[in-house]
Amino acid sequence: MPKNYYITTPIYYVNDSPHIGHAYTSIACDVMARFMRMSGFKVRFLTGTDEHGQKVEIAAEQRNIDPQNFTDEVSKRFRGLTNLLNLSNDDFIRTTEERHKNGAVALWNILLEKGHIYLGKYAGWYAVRDEAFYLEKDLIDGKAPTGAPVEWVEEPSYFFALSKFQDRLLEFYEANPDFIQPNSRRNEVINFVKSGLFDLSVSRTSFKWGIKIPQNPEHVMYVWLDALTNYISALGYPDKTALYESFWPADVHMVGKDILRFHAIYWPAFLMAADLPCPKRIVAHGWLTIDGEKMSKSIGNVVDPRDLVDEFGLDQTRYFLMREIPFGLDGNFSKLAMQNRVNSELANNIGNLAQRTLAFINKNGDAKVPSVDVAALYNESLLAGLLEKVEGYQQFMKMQKFSHALELVIEIANNANGFIEVQAPWALRKTDLNRMAQVLYMLIESLRYIAILLLPFMPEAMDKLLDQLSVNKNERTFEYLNQAFALKPEVNLPAPQGIFPRIEINH
């Protein structure tokens, strides 16, 4: 029986069009989802849109459209992003769908029945941009610590008794040391919880765009309680569906560092309060700046993923975002860095290795996998070193260390390119055809490893490369990375085609 694996992106606010920050989280999840499928897991990958709340209501008002039509339109752009980026998500949830509202109301009712929600009055600061409440003491120069403007809110409100869960949360983090990744973020969360939790306002009355509280329809549900529930409503909750039974608790909620607190504190507290299991892991990634600056509409430096795909290609975009910045850290995005890396690592290194090797075989090797003694060649260091690389790659991938995993694959390509120079098959063609065949075989066998290891990152380009290596469609997963499934001598190879053109962009 394959093991199940459930991974989610945050659901995106529909007040805005998709940008590179959204693409970043989604691509990371897609890479992970594809990696786990290729590792033999039955994967469920969820993404979607967060459509309620004051921020979305205001955005709709500003455009003079009613919020439902507005969210219908913007949500489509996020669905479009899944196609643009070739995401392999199994579902796309919108919080305005009935299935979601049912789930959110069911969770609310349980929290209320179990006595964890009570009616009171909220008086304090609220930042619409963050959809978050802030304490007076946390404000910096009259703004939220995130820089978002805050407003004073006084209204009747239901509260969730978060303060009661402080000890249970701390025990939970203690018992599950990997729950929050990376570790530096884990300490941040623990310190925050230790500093004392206040009960959380979970309903609003000063606007309308949200899920109505069944007991008191003047109130709409706080958008984060609504939104977090998507991870279970998409599985059919409150019904104990086969999907729910198979995939809850989630294996990974991938989030940006800005929304870690909601996922690592509020969400487990809601679930504990409802006697539901908590997710296994929250992975927080860093933030991208653009040419060294914060990305913002007012600066006018917002990067549209569509432009990157048009200029650099889809797989190049996916590769670059996972390769450039160690996952978990903040980092900078610039088109110049992208051009340099795509050219040096994809065009000049991997692309060139494939092109020169396959073109040479096509011309001088009968367009067939060379006829050699495979077992003997697996003793030579180029092939013998591959298994260790595969293991290292898998370790890194399991920890979401994508850039490190990619570095190992680049090393394989470096080794193979170095091998060509030393062995000089063009010279062997005149002196030692037998050795030439061996050299070419080791090169294309290395390419098979490279292509399979890069499949989660660049599914289209690597499928093309594997086609050019005549690797069966059903032999493109990690279990085939060994000698038993090595390329078979004498198999025909199609005419090679370039996979990664050099990019020249005028900046």
Residues that bind ligand MSP (CB under 6 A): 10-13, 21-22, 24-25, 50, 227-228, 230, 255-256, 258-259, 287-288, 295
Residue (169 or 260) nearer to ligand MSP, CB: 260
CB neighbour list of residue 205: distance below 8 Å, 6 or more residues apart: 155, 156, 157, 218, 219, 220
3-state secondary structure 385-429: CHHHHHHHHHHHHHCCCHHHHHHHHHHHHHHHHHHHHHHCHHHHH
Residue (12 or 209) nearer to ligand MSP, CB: 12
Whether the CB-CB separation of 181 and 328 falls below 8 Å is answered with yes
Residue (26 or 39) nearer to ligand MSP, CB: 26
Whether the CB-CB separation of 232 and 241 falls below 8 Å is answered with no
Among residues 74, 46, 365, which one has the least CA distance to residue 228?
46
- Report how far Cα 277 is from the mean position of its chain's Cα atoms: 23
Beta-ladder partners of 155: 122
User: Cα angle vertex 51, ends 161, 304, to 5°?
Assistant: 125
- Report how far Cα 295 is from the mean position of its chain's Cα atoms: 19
Residue (53 or 238) nearer to ligand MSP, CB: 53
**Nearest distance, CB of residue 51 and ligand MSP, angstroms:** 9
Instruction: Report the relative pairing of strands 180-181 and 282-285 from DSSP bridges.
Output: parallel
**Nearest distance, CB of residue 257 and ligand MSP, angstroms:** 7
**Nearest distance, CB of residue 108 and ligand MSP, angstroms:** 16
**Nearest distance, CB of residue 42 and ligand MSP, angstroms:** 23
Residue nearest to ligand MSP (CB): 256
**Nearest distance, CB of residue 79 and ligand MSP, angstroms:** 14
Residue (106 or 410) nearer to ligand MSP, CB: 106
Whole-angstrom Cα distance, residue 221 to residue 424? 69
The phi, psi pair for 366, rounded to 5°, reads: 65, 15
Residue (244 or 287) nearer to ligand MSP, CB: 287
For the purposes of burial, counting CB atoms within 10 Å of the CB of 368, is it exposed (0-12), middle (13-18) or buried (19 or more)? middle
**Nearest distance, CB of residue 86 and ligand MSP, angstroms:** 19
**Nearest distance, CB of residue 20 and ligand MSP, angstroms:** 7
**Nearest distance, CB of residue 268 and ligand MSP, angstroms:** 13
**Nearest distance, CB of residue 140 and ligand MSP, angstroms:** 20
Whether the CB-CB separation of 52 and 220 falls below 8 Å is answered with yes
Residue (291 or 366) nearer to ligand MSP, CB: 291
Instruction: Report the relative pairing of strands 252-256 and 220-221 from DSSP bridges.
Output: unpaired
**Nearest distance, CB of residue 204 and ligand MSP, angstroms:** 16
Residue (47 or 349) nearer to ligand MSP, CB: 47
Among residues 11, 7, 24, 6, which one has the least CA distance to residue 224?
11
Residue (52 or 448) nearer to ligand MSP, CB: 52
Residue (288 or 354) nearer to ligand MSP, CB: 288
Among residues 399, 257, 423, 395, which one has the least CA distance to residue 330?
257
**Nearest distance, CB of residue 454 and ligand MSP, angstroms:** 23
DSSP 437: H
Whether the CB-CB separation of 491 and 470 falls below 8 Å is answered with yes
Residue (263 or 448) nearer to ligand MSP, CB: 263
Whole-angstrom Cα distance, residue 216 to residue 158? 10
**Nearest distance, CB of residue 237 and ligand MSP, angstroms:** 14
Residue (258 or 366) nearer to ligand MSP, CB: 258
DSSP string, 237-257: TTS--HHHHHHPSPSEEEEEG
Among residues 30, 7, 331, 194, which one has the least CA distance to residue 186?
194
